[in-house]
Amino acid sequence: MFGECLSVPRLVASLLYGAGLRLLESLGLRVKDLDFERREIMVRCGKGQKDRRVMLPDRLQESLRAHLAAVKQQHESDLALGVGRVVLSDALERKLPAASTEWPWQFVFLASRICRDPRFGPPSRVHVHESVIQKAVTGGARQAGLTARVSCHTFRHSFATHLLECGYDIRTVQELLGTRTCRRR
C-alpha cells in the first residue's frame, strides 16, 4: 500500500536497528519528528516519558521520503473523504484542535484501516499495530533459517552492540538509547 521501496515492516525494522528505537517509539513517530536536513529523529515521550534525538540513518532517507510521499497521498485521500485525522492526546486536542488533520501530525506508519472506535472520537487513523511488525520480524528470522530467538528488541541490542564495537563510548550509546539517567548532585 505505501511506497515502492521498502515494505512498512522492513522500514520499521531498519529504524529499530539504524536508530536504536524501541518498537512503539518507531510506530509513534509523526511526520514532524523526522528532520531530513539535520539527519535526526525526535523521539517523543520515550520510556520514562523522556524526549531524545537520535540519528536518522542516511541509507533510509530515500526510502522514508518515498514512504512519506505515499502516506501524504493517503492522508489527502482521507481528507477528501472527511476522515483525514489522527488520534491525539486529549490535552493536545484541546490545545491544537486542528492538529489532528494537519500533515505534520500524521503518523509516519499509518494503519491500513480507519479506526472507528468511539473511544478515540470521530473516525481516524492510528499507527500500524505492533503485532504486524512483530510477526514480520519473527517470520523473516524463520525464513532466513535463524535458530536464535529474534524479536524487534534484538535490533535495538544490535544497534548498541555495533556502536560499542565501533568505539563509541558507553555514555553516548546510553543517550542514543534513552537509557542514561541523570543524577542530581
Residue with cell 494537519: 102
pLDDT of 71 over the 70 cut: yes
Euclidean distance between CA atoms 185 and 165, whole angstroms = 31
Residue 103 backbone phi and psi in degrees, to 5: -55, -45
The DSSP bridge partners found for residue 43 are 52
Which pTM value belongs to this model? 0.87
Establish if 128 belongs to a structural domain. Answer: yes
For residue 27, being part of any structural domain is answered with yes
Flag whether 66 is in a domain: yes
Q: What is the CATH number of the domain that holds 61?
A: 1.10.443
Confidence of residue 87 (pLDDT cuts 50, 70, 90): confident
Cβ atoms within 10 A of the Cβ of 59, count? 8
SS3 184: coil
CA distances from 68 to 7, 31, 107 (A): 12, 8, 10
Residue 105 placed within a domain = yes
Mean of the per-residue pLDDT values of the chain: 89
Residue 52 belongs to some domain of the structure: yes
Taking only the tens place, the pLDDT of each residue in 166-181 is 999 999 899 889 886 5
Counted domains in the chain: 1
Q: How confident is the model at residue 49 (pLDDT cuts 50, 70, 90)?
A: low
Backbone angles phi, psi at 173, to 5 degrees: -65, -40
Residue 3 belongs to some domain of the structure:
no
Provide the residue type at 42 as one letter. M
Angle between helices 58-80 and 8-19 (to 10 degrees): 140
106 Cβ contact list (under 8 Å, min separation 6):
30, 31, 71, 72, 75, 86, 125
pLDDT value, residue 88:
87
- Per the structure, the complete domain to which residue 66 belongs is given by 8-177
pLDDT at 153: 94
How do residues 97-156 score in pLDDT, each as one tens digit? 999 999 999 999 999 989 888 877 788 889 999 999 999 999 999 999 999 999 999 999
Q: What angle do CA 74, 80, 86 make, to 5 degrees?
A: 55
39 occurs within a structural domain: yes
Q: Is residue 184 part of a domain?
A: no
Which pLDDT belongs to residue 1? Answer: 40
Query: Quick one: cell of 15?
Result: 529504524
